[in-house]
Amino acid sequence: MYKTPPEYFFRLHFERSRFSRKFEDTLLLLANKIVNIGMLDKYQFNALLDKIIQETTVGSLAEKTVRNQRTEMIRLFGLVKYMDDLAIPGTRLSILTQTQDIPRFFKSFCNRFQFPGGFLKPDKVSEMVVAGVKFKPAQYILRMFKIASSRHGQFALSAAEATHFIFYDKRITVEQETPDKALDRIMEARKNGVQLDKTSDVIRYARDFLNYMVEANLLTDFKGMYALNEKESGAIKSIISNKDFFDGYSSVIKPDGTWDKSEYKKVDSEWAEWFADSAEDDENLQTSATALVQDDNNFPDQWKRIKEMLERKDPSIRGAVLKEIGDEGEKIAYEYEKDSIRKIHPDLVHMVRLVSTTAALGYDLLSIKQEDGRRKKYIEIKTTKKNYESGATIPFTISINEWSVAQQLGNDYFIYRVIITREGVTIFSIQNPAKRAEEGNLDIEPIGFKVVYSDKSGTLLEV
Per the DSSP assignment, residues forming a β-bridge with 461 are: 427
User: Of 379, 441, 383, 444, which Cα lies nearest the Cα of 411?
Assistant: 379
Question: What does the pLDDT look like over 263-305, one tens digit per residue?
Answer: 999 999 999 889 987 655 578 899 988 888 765 544 456 556 6
Report the CATH number at residue 455. Answer: 3.40.1350
Report the CATH number at residue 179. Answer: 1.10.10.2090
Same domain? For 275 and 302 the reply is no
87-101, 160-174, 309-323, 339-353: range with lowest mean pLDDT: 309-323
Residue at which a domain ends, from 287, 313, 336: 287
Residue at which a domain ends, from 237, 259, 287: 287
Same domain? For 347 and 409 the reply is yes
26 inside domain: yes
Q: What are phi and psi for residue 243, nearest 5 degrees?
A: -100, 0
Q: Given pLDDT bands bounded at 50, 70 and 90, which one contains residue 219?
A: very high
Q: State the pTM of this model.
A: 0.84
Name the residue type at position 370: Q
Question: What does the pLDDT look like over 152-183, one tens digit per residue?
Answer: 988 999 999 999 999 999 999 999 999 999 99
1 inside domain: no
Measure CA of the first residue to CA of the last residue in the chain; give whole Å: 51
| Cβ count near 189 (within 10 Å) | 16
Q: Given pLDDT bands bounded at 50, 70 and 90, which one contains residue 319?
A: very low
How many domains does the structure of the chain reveal?
2
Same domain? For 170 and 318 the reply is no
User: Mean pLDDT over residues 428-455, rounded?
Assistant: 83
Question: What does the pLDDT look like over 45-91, one tens digit per residue?
Answer: 888 888 877 876 767 788 888 888 787 778 888 888 877 788 888 88
Statement: residue 350 has pLDDT above 80: yes
Same domain? For 332 and 203 the reply is no
Same domain? For 142 and 273 the reply is yes
The DSSP secondary structure of 309-348, one letter per residue, reads: HHH---TTTGGG---SSHHHHHHHHHHHHHHHHHHH-GGG
User: Of 130, 155, 135, 134, which Cα lies nearest the Cα of 226?
Assistant: 155
Statement: residue 205 has pLDDT above 90: yes
> Cα–Cα distance between 225 and 408 in angstroms, integer?
54
User: Mean pLDDT over residues 350-377, rounded?
Assistant: 87
User: Mean pLDDT over residues 16-35, rounded?
Assistant: 70
At residue 406, the pLDDT reads 95
Helices (H), 159-292: 159-162, 170-173, 179-191, 200-215, 233-241, 261-276, 289-292
Name the residue type at position 53: I
Residue at which a domain ends, from 263, 287, 311: 287
Same domain? For 243 and 383 the reply is no
What average pLDDT is seen over the chain?
86
**Non-local CB neighbours of 384 within 8 Å, separated by 6+ positions:** 28, 100, 101, 102, 394, 396, 417, 418, 419, 420
Winning range, highest mean pLDDT, from 93-97, 140-144, 203-207: 140-144
Same domain? For 281 and 297 the reply is no
Domain boundaries, position 272 = 6-287
Same domain? For 223 and 316 the reply is no
Q: For residues 290, 211, 279 and 253, what is the CA-based torsion angle, rounded to 10 degrees?
A: -160
Same domain? For 398 and 313 the reply is yes
Per the DSSP assignment, residues forming a β-bridge with 366 are: 353, 378
Same domain? For 152 and 164 the reply is yes
Q: Given pLDDT bands bounded at 50, 70 and 90, which one contains residue 322?
A: very low
Greater model confidence, 286 or 138: 138
